[in-house]
Structure 1
Amino acid sequence: MKVPGVPPAELPDLNRAQDRISFVYLERCVIHRDSNAITATDEKGIVHIPAATLGVLMLGPGTSITQQAMMLIADNGATVVRVGEHGVRYYAHGRPLARSSRLLVAQAAAVSHRDRRLRVARAMYRMRFPGEDTTNLTMQQLRGKEGARVRRCYRENAQRTGVSWNSREYDPDDFTGSDPVNQALSAAHACLYGIVHAVVVAVGASPGLGFVHTGHDRSFVYDIADLYKADVTIPVAFDIAAAESTDIGADTRRAVRDRVHNGALLGRCVQDIRRLLLTDSAAGPINEEEFDEEADNDAVRLWDEGGLELAGGRNYGGYVDF
């Protein structure tokens, strides 16, 4: 039976991950399909976006998307992430861009093995302490060093902005119950978690399999987000507090948006996740070409206890003596 409509692209015809637009953010528009392009329609007119060039489509407030558009996005190996205003909160996602389960398998294997989990955790801390050797430090020692680093970061930003700083104190159920800088920190961190969560699911990793954090469905999100707080959210929060904002939550979200607007944080986040899960060290570049070739591979293979991966889609009844 012939299926009506434009046929999906063949896998070899799809753009490689490294050649795609990292993400496109849309809000307050209707998203539909026109042949092999995604269309976004608002009061200003219609914009066409070739579906094969998409990595991640981020749907902000006020978006409405048709079933045909979702089919086209899926056929082209892209993912859809529903987010808050300007992408600073994560709500839900569709199929990740990665066709391969390589990252997920590596993550599950590492988190399930004590020594490998410790190695990844140490690598995460080493990324925060450039030039320092964390190879033989225990988790307790690493937590102590991290605590001292964060306190120093708070103190330096307080001196830079002239904002009075005592300690990190907040009530998750009472946002306005803390002082302005703590309110701004809570809002900024929430934005960062949303951004990182969107990246984690887009590359096919699990948000819940953390290495430093554990026991929560966003443990890995918190692991990765902690790598960027000193560069992104802490300076933003102190700037907002110094500006004596009258709407701390909204102003902080916009400030975080502006700080990551050029997409550099998203690219850095993808690189760091791959490096942590696919290498024994967090230092140095990974082979992007090799990763993208496997990520775009739509083949399903069969596992063997001997460590081999066999071709799927075959009947092996003739090869085994029962």
Structure 2
Amino acid sequence: MENLKPSDLKSILHSKRANMYYLEYCRVMQKDGRVLYLTEAISNKSNQENQYFNIPIANTTVLLLGNGTSITQAAMRMLAQAGVLVGFSGGGGTPLYMANDVEQPIEWMTPQSEYRPTEYFQGWMKFWFDDEKRLNAAKRFQQARINYLNKVWSKDRDLKNEGFTVNDAGIETALARFNDRMLTANKSSDLLLTEAQLTKALYKFAANTTKTENFTRQHQSTDKANDFLNHGNYLAYGLAATTLWVLGIPHGFAVMHGKTRRGALVFDIADLIKDAIVLPWAFVCAKEKATEQEFRQQILQAFTDHKALDFMFDTVKSIALAQTPVGEPLGLQQVDNSGLKEGKKP
């Protein structure tokens, strides 16, 4: 098969791509102009057989390589040409070094490109050095986060059937209290405290709804709910890292999780979708004793169904280009499908 040109590999915009992959105990390679992963399977005759599986890189955002994986230089070159972010992780899609820093994201290997847009980075810098404007941006992230949770939990029939609804009195109270405290917060530490209180309320609601007894959020745990939360969060970090790379905004320019924390903007972006999608499905899948693969498939399907990546792009672009006062409509726009908006060459 003739090798594809880099321009051919970027025909699908990142905001419209559907695939994320987590691979373990396999070898990723380039073969006949495609990126494949090779596994060893035991046949009925007890002989080892090599099995090749294709990775549709033009429709992929993130590739996570877990335990027992290797990748060739040729495969990395093709992944870079297609704009796929690659991360090395421990088992289950979470970092090997979680014991050192439980919230540190995977070190993403980003494709090298000199043709990504600069307008969003320039827009980000116009407000980032101003404390008040940066706090305003953080509040807008929180507004968008709650709007998305309301939208997903109101629309998703499967979550409704599991008892996750914004019509619950406790959830309505928690969201209203969060909104009031968010609007009156005078510094990012106040906002972080308010966010922590909301997250605690959501954990309690999810545990009660799924009848999960004695739940305590732990980043190092052996219970399924915590394991699934960790796994789902890192998938969200992958989408967030992709969004920032495509728009050309460095990961260090956070608006909420701390100016001095490397990669903290990834957390800010991932928070947009974690409460709405990852949190409820982690508890539901734990209740149903799902496997890690089943949970991952459920999360990735939910990301697609609710256009999580589109939502991340829209929110970040809106905040980068227009500092709308908190409390007013965000005025989010559809992702532009032309030109340099998502990194095409001029």
TM-score (norm 2): 0.62
1:1-322 correspondence to structure 2 within 5 Å: 9=5, 11=7, 14-17=10-13, 21-25=17-21, 26-43=23-40, 45-49=51-55, 51-85=57-91, 87=93, 90-95=106-111, 99-130=116-147, 137-139=184-186, 142=191, 146-164=195-213, 175=220, 187-203=227-243, 204=245, 205-214=249-258, 215-236=260-281, 238-239=283-284, 257-262=296-301, 263-264=303-304, 265-280=308-323, 283-289=330-336, 293-298=340-345
Cα RMSD after superposing both structures? 4.2
**Equivalent pair of 1:184/1:241 in contact (CA under 8 Å):** yes
CA distance in 2, matches of 1:123, 1:252: 36
Q: 1:197 to 1:142 in 2, by over 3 A?
A: closer
Q: 1:147 to 1:27 in 2, by over 3 A?
A: closer
Encode CA deviations 1:160-193: one digit per residue, 9 max, x unaligned.
Answer: 2334559x675x7xx46xxx8xx66654443344
**Equivalent pair of 2:236/2:274 in contact (CA under 8 Å):** no
Greater RCO, CA 8 A, separation 6+: 2
Question: Based on CA coordinates, which of the two structures has the bigger radius of gyration?
Answer: 1
Q: SS where residue 273 of structure 2 aligns?
A: coil
Encode CA deviations 1:218-267: one digit per residue, 9 max, x unaligned.
Answer: 32233233333433454356557767x8xxxxx79657524413143455
CA distance in 1, matches of 2:68, 2:338: 35
**Match of 1:312?**
none
Q: SS where residue 288 of structure 1 aligns?
A: coil
Q: 1:139 to 1:236 in 2, by over 3 A?
A: farther
Q: How many Å apart are 1:55 and its aligned residue?
A: 3.9
**Equivalent pair of 1:30/1:63 in contact (CA under 8 Å):** yes
What is the number of equivalent residue pairs in this alignment? 280
CA distance in 1, matches of 2:284, 2:8: 48
TM-score (norm 1): 0.65
Unpaired segments ≥5 residues, structure 1: 1-5, 246-250, 300-322
CA distance in 2, matches of 1:267, 1:88: 24
Q: SS where residue 35 of structure 2 aligns?
A: strand
**Equivalent pair of 1:93/1:201 in contact (CA under 8 Å):** no
The amino acid of 2:71's aligned partner reads: I
**Equivalent pair of 1:23/1:56 in contact (CA under 8 Å):** yes
**Match of 1:305?**
none
**Equivalent pair of 1:32/1:38 in contact (CA under 8 Å):** yes
**Match of 1:314?**
none
Q: How many Å apart are 1:24 and its aligned residue?
A: 4.4
Unpaired segments ≥5 residues, structure 2: 41-49, 96-105, 151-175
**Equivalent pair of 1:120/1:280 in contact (CA under 8 Å):** yes
**Equivalent pair of 2:28/2:37 in contact (CA under 8 Å):** yes
**Equivalent pair of 2:233/2:278 in contact (CA under 8 Å):** no
Q: How many Å apart are 1:52 and its aligned residue?
A: 4.5
Q: How many Å apart are 1:125 and its aligned residue?
A: 1.8
Q: 1:58 to 1:150 in 2, by over 3 A?
A: closer
Q: Which moved more, 1:66-75 or 1:288-297?
A: 288-297
Higher helix share goes to which structure?
2
Q: Name the % identity.
A: 19
**Equivalent pair of 1:23/1:58 in contact (CA under 8 Å):** no
The amino acid of 1:295's aligned partner reads: E
Q: SS where residue 251 of structure 2 aligns?
A: coil
